[in-house]
Structure 1
Amino acid sequence: MSAAQLVMPIAAPSFGDVRLRAFEERDADMLMDLSTDAYVPKTGSLPGNADHPEALAYIERQSSRLRTGAGYSFCVADKETDEALGTAGLYLAPIAAGRATAGYSVAPRHRGRRVAGHSLIALTRFAWSIPELHRIELYIEPWNTASVRTAEFAGFEREGLLRSHQEIGGERVDMLMYAAIRPTAATG
Protein backbone atom coordinates (compact mmCIF):
# COMPACT_ATOMS: atom_id res chain seq x y z
CA MET A 1 0.00 0.00 0.00
CA SER A 2 1.54 3.29 -1.04
CA ALA A 3 0.81 6.78 0.24
CA ALA A 4 -0.85 7.61 -3.07
CA GLN A 5 -3.45 4.95 -2.38
CA LEU A 6 -4.63 6.50 0.89
CA VAL A 7 -7.88 8.34 0.30
CA MET A 8 -10.90 8.78 2.49
CA PRO A 9 -13.52 6.13 1.80
CA ILE A 10 -16.29 7.22 -0.57
CA ALA A 11 -18.97 5.92 1.81
CA ALA A 12 -18.34 7.14 5.35
CA PRO A 13 -17.86 4.18 7.70
CA SER A 14 -20.69 4.11 10.22
CA PHE A 15 -22.18 2.08 13.01
CA GLY A 16 -25.04 2.83 15.40
CA ASP A 17 -25.40 6.58 15.81
CA VAL A 18 -22.00 7.60 14.44
CA ARG A 19 -20.20 7.97 11.14
CA LEU A 20 -16.53 8.57 10.44
CA ARG A 21 -15.62 11.45 8.13
CA ALA A 22 -12.76 13.79 7.35
CA PHE A 23 -12.11 16.64 9.76
CA GLU A 24 -13.43 20.07 8.82
CA GLU A 25 -12.70 23.52 10.25
CA ARG A 26 -16.10 23.51 11.98
CA ASP A 27 -14.85 20.64 14.20
CA ALA A 28 -12.47 22.98 16.07
CA ASP A 29 -14.95 23.52 18.93
CA MET A 30 -15.17 19.78 19.59
CA LEU A 31 -11.38 19.56 19.58
CA MET A 32 -11.10 22.44 22.04
CA ASP A 33 -13.51 20.53 24.32
CA LEU A 34 -11.50 17.32 23.84
CA SER A 35 -8.29 19.16 24.72
CA THR A 36 -9.64 19.90 28.21
CA ASP A 37 -9.26 16.21 29.09
CA ALA A 38 -5.99 15.96 31.03
CA TYR A 39 -5.05 12.61 29.42
CA VAL A 40 -5.71 13.32 25.71
CA PRO A 41 -2.82 15.79 25.19
CA LYS A 42 -0.39 13.24 26.67
CA THR A 43 -1.23 10.66 23.99
CA GLY A 44 -1.36 12.66 20.77
CA SER A 45 -0.68 15.97 19.08
CA LEU A 46 -3.67 17.94 20.40
CA PRO A 47 -2.32 20.45 22.94
CA GLY A 48 -3.96 20.75 26.35
CA ASN A 49 -6.60 23.48 26.52
CA ALA A 50 -6.15 24.18 22.81
CA ASP A 51 -7.31 27.48 21.39
CA HIS A 52 -8.98 27.82 17.98
CA PRO A 53 -5.73 28.16 15.96
CA GLU A 54 -4.24 25.13 17.74
CA ALA A 55 -7.37 23.10 16.99
CA LEU A 56 -7.12 24.09 13.31
CA ALA A 57 -3.43 23.10 13.27
CA TYR A 58 -4.43 19.71 14.70
CA ILE A 59 -6.95 19.28 11.87
CA GLU A 60 -4.21 19.99 9.33
CA ARG A 61 -1.95 17.38 10.98
CA GLN A 62 -4.73 14.81 10.71
CA SER A 63 -5.20 15.60 7.01
CA SER A 64 -1.48 15.07 6.43
CA ARG A 65 -1.74 11.42 7.56
CA LEU A 66 -3.38 10.51 4.25
CA ARG A 67 -0.77 12.39 2.22
CA THR A 68 2.14 10.72 4.02
CA GLY A 69 0.57 7.27 4.13
CA ALA A 70 0.66 7.18 7.94
CA GLY A 71 -2.99 6.19 8.17
CA TYR A 72 -6.55 7.39 8.46
CA SER A 73 -7.65 10.02 10.93
CA PHE A 74 -11.39 10.44 11.22
CA CYS A 75 -13.70 12.85 12.93
CA VAL A 76 -16.43 10.88 14.69
CA ALA A 77 -19.72 12.59 13.88
CA ASP A 78 -23.35 12.10 14.83
CA LYS A 79 -24.94 10.16 11.97
CA GLU A 80 -28.04 12.39 11.90
CA THR A 81 -26.76 15.89 12.72
CA ASP A 82 -23.12 15.54 11.57
CA GLU A 83 -22.02 17.20 14.85
CA ALA A 84 -18.41 16.35 15.73
CA LEU A 85 -18.21 14.03 18.76
CA GLY A 86 -14.63 12.75 18.86
CA THR A 87 -11.80 11.17 16.91
CA ALA A 88 -10.88 7.74 15.57
CA GLY A 89 -7.69 6.72 13.83
CA LEU A 90 -6.19 3.76 12.05
CA TYR A 91 -2.40 3.98 11.96
CA LEU A 92 -0.63 1.95 9.31
CA ALA A 93 3.04 2.06 10.33
CA PRO A 94 3.13 -1.75 10.84
CA ILE A 95 1.09 -2.54 7.66
CA ALA A 96 3.99 -4.42 6.03
CA ALA A 97 3.49 -7.04 8.75
CA GLY A 98 -0.29 -7.06 8.20
CA ARG A 99 -0.97 -5.00 11.31
CA ALA A 100 -2.35 -1.58 12.22
CA THR A 101 -3.01 0.19 15.48
CA ALA A 102 -6.19 2.07 16.30
CA GLY A 103 -7.12 4.87 18.64
CA TYR A 104 -10.24 6.76 19.63
CA SER A 105 -11.34 9.59 21.88
CA VAL A 106 -14.62 11.29 22.68
CA ALA A 107 -15.04 14.92 23.68
CA PRO A 108 -16.10 15.21 27.34
CA ARG A 109 -19.55 16.62 26.57
CA HIS A 110 -20.38 13.57 24.39
CA ARG A 111 -19.25 10.76 26.69
CA GLY A 112 -21.48 8.05 28.13
CA ARG A 113 -23.43 7.38 24.90
CA ARG A 114 -21.34 4.50 23.44
CA VAL A 115 -19.83 6.92 20.91
CA ALA A 116 -16.36 5.36 21.37
CA GLY A 117 -17.66 1.80 21.01
CA HIS A 118 -19.69 2.58 17.92
CA SER A 119 -16.81 4.49 16.34
CA LEU A 120 -14.37 1.62 17.04
CA ILE A 121 -16.76 -0.85 15.39
CA ALA A 122 -17.11 1.44 12.35
CA LEU A 123 -13.32 1.88 12.21
CA THR A 124 -12.69 -1.86 12.48
CA ARG A 125 -15.18 -2.69 9.73
CA PHE A 126 -13.51 -0.09 7.51
CA ALA A 127 -10.08 -1.53 8.34
CA TRP A 128 -11.06 -4.92 6.95
CA SER A 129 -11.52 -3.25 3.54
CA ILE A 130 -7.71 -2.93 3.40
CA PRO A 131 -6.55 -6.24 1.88
CA GLU A 132 -3.09 -6.16 3.49
CA LEU A 133 -4.51 -5.81 6.99
CA HIS A 134 -5.03 -8.89 9.16
CA ARG A 135 -4.74 -7.57 12.72
CA ILE A 136 -5.68 -4.37 14.56
CA GLU A 137 -4.04 -3.63 17.87
CA LEU A 138 -5.10 -1.36 20.72
CA TYR A 139 -2.83 -0.30 23.58
CA ILE A 140 -4.72 0.69 26.73
CA GLU A 141 -3.37 1.73 30.10
CA PRO A 142 -4.67 -0.69 32.78
CA TRP A 143 -6.39 2.09 34.77
CA ASN A 144 -8.48 3.13 31.73
CA THR A 145 -11.53 0.97 32.40
CA ALA A 146 -13.73 2.99 30.01
CA SER A 147 -11.37 2.21 27.14
CA VAL A 148 -11.21 -1.46 28.16
CA ARG A 149 -15.04 -1.59 28.04
CA THR A 150 -14.97 0.09 24.61
CA ALA A 151 -12.45 -2.43 23.24
CA GLU A 152 -14.45 -5.39 24.55
CA PHE A 153 -17.75 -3.91 23.31
CA ALA A 154 -16.21 -3.66 19.82
CA GLY A 155 -15.10 -7.31 19.89
CA PHE A 156 -11.41 -6.85 20.66
CA GLU A 157 -9.81 -9.50 22.86
CA ARG A 158 -7.28 -8.93 25.61
CA GLU A 159 -3.98 -10.61 24.81
CA GLY A 160 -1.84 -9.52 27.71
CA LEU A 161 0.02 -6.86 29.65
CA LEU A 162 3.02 -5.14 28.09
CA ARG A 163 5.20 -3.93 30.96
CA SER A 164 6.88 -0.53 30.61
CA HIS A 165 5.66 -0.49 27.02
CA GLN A 166 5.80 3.21 26.18
CA GLU A 167 6.22 6.70 27.49
CA ILE A 168 3.12 8.79 28.19
CA GLY A 169 3.35 12.15 29.89
CA GLY A 170 7.06 11.66 30.60
CA GLU A 171 6.63 8.31 32.38
CA ARG A 172 7.08 4.71 31.26
CA VAL A 173 3.72 2.95 31.53
CA ASP A 174 2.31 -0.53 31.22
CA MET A 175 -0.22 -1.15 28.46
CA LEU A 176 -2.86 -3.78 27.99
CA MET A 177 -2.75 -5.30 24.50
CA TYR A 178 -6.12 -5.81 22.83
CA ALA A 179 -6.48 -7.08 19.28
CA ALA A 180 -9.00 -7.93 16.60
CA ILE A 181 -8.19 -10.41 13.86
CA ARG A 182 -9.64 -10.24 10.33
CA PRO A 183 -12.73 -12.43 10.23
CA THR A 184 -12.52 -15.47 7.99
CA ALA A 185 -15.32 -17.55 6.51
CA ALA A 186 -14.88 -19.98 9.44
CA THR A 187 -14.95 -17.23 12.12
CA GLY A 188 -17.00 -14.66 10.23
Structure 2
Amino acid sequence: MSLPADPGTMGRVLPMTMPRLHGSLVVLRAFESGDQDLVTSVVSDALIPLITTVPPDGDAEDVAAYIARQRGRLQEGAGYSFAIADATSGKGVGQIGLWTREAHLGRATMGYWVAPQFRRRGYARDALATVTTWASSFTVLHRLQLFVEPWNTGSWRAAEACGFEREGLLRGWELVGDRYKDMYVYSRLTSA
Protein backbone atom coordinates (compact mmCIF):
# COMPACT_ATOMS: atom_id res chain seq x y z
CA MET A 1 0.00 0.00 0.00
CA SER A 2 2.84 2.41 0.67
CA LEU A 3 6.48 2.85 -0.09
CA PRO A 4 9.17 2.86 2.59
CA ALA A 5 9.25 6.23 4.31
CA ASP A 6 12.20 8.48 3.58
CA PRO A 7 12.54 12.27 3.64
CA GLY A 8 11.92 12.46 -0.10
CA THR A 9 8.54 10.76 0.17
CA MET A 10 7.07 12.58 3.15
CA GLY A 11 3.56 13.73 2.32
CA ARG A 12 3.30 11.19 -0.48
CA VAL A 13 3.08 8.00 1.57
CA LEU A 14 0.00 7.08 3.54
CA PRO A 15 0.81 6.08 7.13
CA MET A 16 0.55 2.44 8.19
CA THR A 17 -0.65 3.32 11.69
CA MET A 18 -4.05 4.65 12.69
CA PRO A 19 -3.88 8.32 13.53
CA ARG A 20 -6.07 10.10 16.06
CA LEU A 21 -7.62 13.13 14.37
CA HIS A 22 -9.26 16.06 16.14
CA GLY A 23 -12.06 18.17 14.70
CA SER A 24 -14.18 20.83 16.34
CA LEU A 25 -16.91 18.46 17.54
CA VAL A 26 -15.30 15.07 17.06
CA VAL A 27 -12.28 12.95 17.70
CA LEU A 28 -11.62 10.30 15.06
CA ARG A 29 -9.94 7.25 16.51
CA ALA A 30 -9.62 3.50 16.13
CA PHE A 31 -12.61 1.48 17.25
CA GLU A 32 -12.46 0.24 20.84
CA SER A 33 -14.30 -2.53 22.67
CA GLY A 34 -16.30 0.21 24.42
CA ASP A 35 -17.92 1.02 21.06
CA GLN A 36 -20.08 -2.11 21.26
CA ASP A 37 -23.07 -0.09 22.50
CA LEU A 38 -22.76 2.23 19.49
CA VAL A 39 -22.69 -0.65 17.01
CA THR A 40 -25.56 -2.42 18.78
CA SER A 41 -27.61 0.78 18.60
CA VAL A 42 -27.55 0.79 14.78
CA VAL A 43 -28.28 -2.86 14.00
CA SER A 44 -31.99 -2.05 13.67
CA ASP A 45 -31.39 1.02 11.47
CA ALA A 46 -33.19 0.68 8.14
CA LEU A 47 -30.04 1.36 6.09
CA ILE A 48 -26.75 1.04 7.99
CA PRO A 49 -26.60 -2.80 8.08
CA LEU A 50 -27.54 -2.92 4.38
CA ILE A 51 -24.68 -0.72 3.14
CA THR A 52 -21.99 -1.54 5.71
CA THR A 53 -20.70 -4.62 7.49
CA VAL A 54 -22.59 -3.75 10.68
CA PRO A 55 -24.31 -7.01 11.66
CA PRO A 56 -28.09 -7.08 11.19
CA ASP A 57 -28.61 -8.29 14.77
CA GLY A 58 -27.30 -7.29 18.17
CA ASP A 59 -25.45 -10.53 18.88
CA ALA A 60 -22.46 -9.61 21.08
CA GLU A 61 -20.12 -11.92 19.16
CA ASP A 62 -21.11 -10.38 15.80
CA VAL A 63 -20.73 -6.85 17.18
CA ALA A 64 -17.27 -7.72 18.55
CA ALA A 65 -16.34 -9.17 15.15
CA TYR A 66 -17.45 -5.93 13.44
CA ILE A 67 -15.20 -3.90 15.76
CA ALA A 68 -12.30 -6.28 15.13
CA ARG A 69 -12.80 -5.90 11.35
CA GLN A 70 -12.70 -2.11 11.64
CA ARG A 71 -9.47 -2.34 13.63
CA GLY A 72 -7.94 -4.54 10.91
CA ARG A 73 -8.91 -2.50 7.85
CA LEU A 74 -5.58 -0.67 7.60
CA GLN A 75 -3.43 -3.80 7.88
CA GLU A 76 -5.52 -5.59 5.26
CA GLY A 77 -4.97 -2.69 2.85
CA ALA A 78 -8.57 -1.41 2.75
CA GLY A 79 -7.88 1.94 4.41
CA TYR A 80 -8.73 3.77 7.60
CA SER A 81 -11.89 3.01 9.56
CA PHE A 82 -12.38 5.62 12.27
CA ALA A 83 -14.88 5.64 15.09
CA ILE A 84 -16.43 9.10 15.24
CA ALA A 85 -16.43 10.11 18.90
CA ASP A 86 -17.86 13.17 20.59
CA ALA A 87 -14.89 15.45 21.38
CA THR A 88 -16.16 16.22 24.88
CA SER A 89 -17.42 12.87 26.15
CA GLY A 90 -15.31 10.53 24.00
CA LYS A 91 -18.45 8.47 23.35
CA GLY A 92 -18.74 6.88 19.91
CA VAL A 93 -21.44 8.35 17.66
CA GLY A 94 -20.63 6.87 14.24
CA GLN A 95 -18.04 5.67 11.76
CA ILE A 96 -16.13 7.24 8.87
CA GLY A 97 -13.79 5.51 6.48
CA LEU A 98 -11.11 6.64 4.08
CA TRP A 99 -10.84 3.67 1.71
CA THR A 100 -7.50 3.63 -0.07
CA ARG A 101 -7.47 0.56 -2.31
CA GLU A 102 -7.18 2.93 -5.30
CA ALA A 103 -4.54 5.20 -3.77
CA HIS A 104 -2.05 4.03 -6.40
CA LEU A 105 -4.42 5.68 -8.91
CA GLY A 106 -4.51 8.90 -6.87
CA ARG A 107 -7.96 8.46 -5.39
CA ALA A 108 -9.69 7.39 -2.21
CA THR A 109 -13.34 6.85 -1.37
CA MET A 110 -15.01 8.04 1.80
CA GLY A 111 -18.10 6.77 3.57
CA TYR A 112 -19.71 7.49 6.90
CA TRP A 113 -22.66 6.83 9.15
CA VAL A 114 -23.93 8.40 12.35
CA ALA A 115 -26.23 6.55 14.75
CA PRO A 116 -29.80 7.92 14.56
CA GLN A 117 -29.74 9.21 18.15
CA PHE A 118 -26.75 11.45 17.30
CA ARG A 119 -27.85 12.84 13.94
CA ARG A 120 -28.42 16.53 13.13
CA ARG A 121 -25.69 17.67 15.54
CA GLY A 122 -22.94 18.32 12.98
CA TYR A 123 -20.93 15.16 13.71
CA ALA A 124 -20.93 13.86 10.11
CA ARG A 125 -19.91 17.22 8.67
CA ASP A 126 -17.11 17.71 11.21
CA ALA A 127 -15.85 14.14 10.76
CA LEU A 128 -15.87 14.50 6.97
CA ALA A 129 -14.09 17.88 7.13
CA THR A 130 -11.48 16.44 9.50
CA VAL A 131 -10.72 13.38 7.36
CA THR A 132 -10.74 15.49 4.18
CA THR A 133 -8.17 17.92 5.60
CA TRP A 134 -5.98 15.06 6.76
CA ALA A 135 -6.27 13.08 3.49
CA SER A 136 -5.52 16.20 1.44
CA SER A 137 -2.09 16.42 3.07
CA PHE A 138 -0.93 13.34 1.16
CA THR A 139 0.20 14.20 -2.34
CA VAL A 140 -0.39 10.60 -3.43
CA LEU A 141 -4.14 11.37 -3.20
CA HIS A 142 -5.47 13.66 -5.90
CA ARG A 143 -9.19 12.88 -5.68
CA LEU A 144 -11.50 12.12 -2.77
CA GLN A 145 -14.92 10.75 -3.65
CA LEU A 146 -18.08 9.53 -1.99
CA PHE A 147 -21.41 8.10 -3.02
CA VAL A 148 -24.77 9.14 -1.53
CA GLU A 149 -28.34 8.02 -2.19
CA PRO A 150 -30.31 10.95 -3.66
CA TRP A 151 -32.87 10.92 -0.82
CA ASN A 152 -30.12 11.22 1.85
CA THR A 153 -30.24 15.01 2.06
CA GLY A 154 -28.30 15.21 5.33
CA SER A 155 -25.39 13.24 3.89
CA TRP A 156 -25.07 15.15 0.63
CA ARG A 157 -25.45 18.48 2.43
CA ALA A 158 -22.57 17.48 4.71
CA ALA A 159 -20.50 16.62 1.63
CA GLU A 160 -21.29 19.94 -0.04
CA ALA A 161 -20.47 21.85 3.17
CA CYS A 162 -17.02 20.21 3.07
CA GLY A 163 -16.32 21.33 -0.49
CA PHE A 164 -17.38 18.18 -2.34
CA GLU A 165 -19.10 18.76 -5.67
CA ARG A 166 -21.84 16.61 -7.12
CA GLU A 167 -20.67 15.16 -10.43
CA GLY A 168 -23.73 13.23 -11.40
CA LEU A 169 -26.17 10.42 -10.79
CA LEU A 170 -24.94 6.86 -11.13
CA ARG A 171 -27.94 4.73 -12.02
CA GLY A 172 -28.15 1.33 -10.33
CA TRP A 173 -24.70 1.87 -8.79
CA GLU A 174 -24.89 0.25 -5.35
CA LEU A 175 -26.47 -2.98 -4.18
CA VAL A 176 -28.46 -2.03 -1.07
CA GLY A 177 -30.13 -5.07 0.42
CA ASP A 178 -31.48 -6.92 -2.60
CA ARG A 179 -31.87 -3.94 -4.98
CA TYR A 180 -29.46 -1.81 -6.96
CA LYS A 181 -29.87 1.84 -6.00
CA ASP A 182 -28.98 5.09 -7.71
CA MET A 183 -26.21 7.12 -6.10
CA TYR A 184 -24.96 10.64 -6.45
CA VAL A 185 -21.22 10.76 -6.89
CA TYR A 186 -19.40 13.59 -5.15
CA SER A 187 -15.73 14.50 -5.39
CA ARG A 188 -13.21 16.92 -4.12
CA LEU A 189 -9.76 17.35 -5.57
CA THR A 190 -7.11 17.55 -2.89
CA SER A 191 -5.57 20.58 -4.60
CA ALA A 192 -8.87 22.47 -4.06
On whether the aligned pair clears a TM of 0.5, the verdict is yes
Which residue type is aligned with residue 145 of structure 1? Answer: T
- The answer to whether residue 118 in structure 2 is matched with residue 110 in structure 1 is yes
The change in CA–CA distance for 1:56 and 1:3 in structure 2 (over 3 A counts) is: farther
Alpha-carbon distance in 2 for matches of 1:155, 1:51: 38
In structure 1, the partner of 2:28 is 20
In structure 1, the partner of 2:9 is none
Which residue type is aligned with residue 90 of structure 1? Answer: L
Which residue type is aligned with residue 120 of structure 1? Answer: L
In structure 2, the partner of 1:150 is 158
In structure 1, the partner of 2:56 is 48
In structure 2, the partner of 1:30 is 38
Which residue type is aligned with residue 148 of structure 1? Answer: W
Alignment of 1:75-114 (within 5 A): 75-114=83-122
Alpha-carbon distance in 2 for matches of 1:172, 1:112: 27
CA contact (8 A) 1:85 1:110 kept: yes
How many residues of Structure 1 are paired with residues of Structure 2 in the alignment? 182
Unaligned runs of 5+ in 2: 5-14
The two structures have a TM-score, normalised by structure 2, of 0.89
CA contact (8 A) 1:34 1:86 kept: no
Residue 146 of structure 1: SS of its match in structure 2? helix
- The answer to whether residue 18 in structure 2 is matched with residue 8 in structure 1 is yes
Deviations, residues 122-178 of structure 1 (Å, cap 9, x unaligned) = 111121233311111111111111111111122111111111112111111111010
Q: Residue 48 of structure 1: CA displacement?
A: 1.9
In structure 2, the partner of 1:68 is 76
In structure 2, the partner of 1:140 is 148
Alpha-carbon distance in 2 for matches of 1:104, 1:140: 10
What percent identity do the matched residue pairs reach? 42
Deviations, residues 66-92 of structure 1 (Å, cap 9, x unaligned) = 111110000001112111111000001
Q: Residue 102 of structure 1: CA displacement?
A: 0.3
Residue 117 of structure 1: SS of its match in structure 2? helix
Alpha-carbon distance in 2 for matches of 1:176, 1:63: 28
- The answer to whether residue 72 in structure 2 is matched with residue 59 in structure 1 is no
CA contact (8 A) 1:30 1:84 kept: yes
Alpha-carbon distance in 1 for matches of 2:161, 2:146: 13
Q: Residue 3 of structure 1: CA displacement?
A: 9.1
The change in CA–CA distance for 1:97 and 1:73 in structure 2 (over 3 A counts) is: same
Which residue type is aligned with residue 100 of structure 2? Answer: L
CA contact (8 A) 1:75 1:84 kept: yes
The two structures have a TM-score, normalised by structure 1, of 0.91
Which residue type is aligned with residue 19 of structure 1? Answer: V
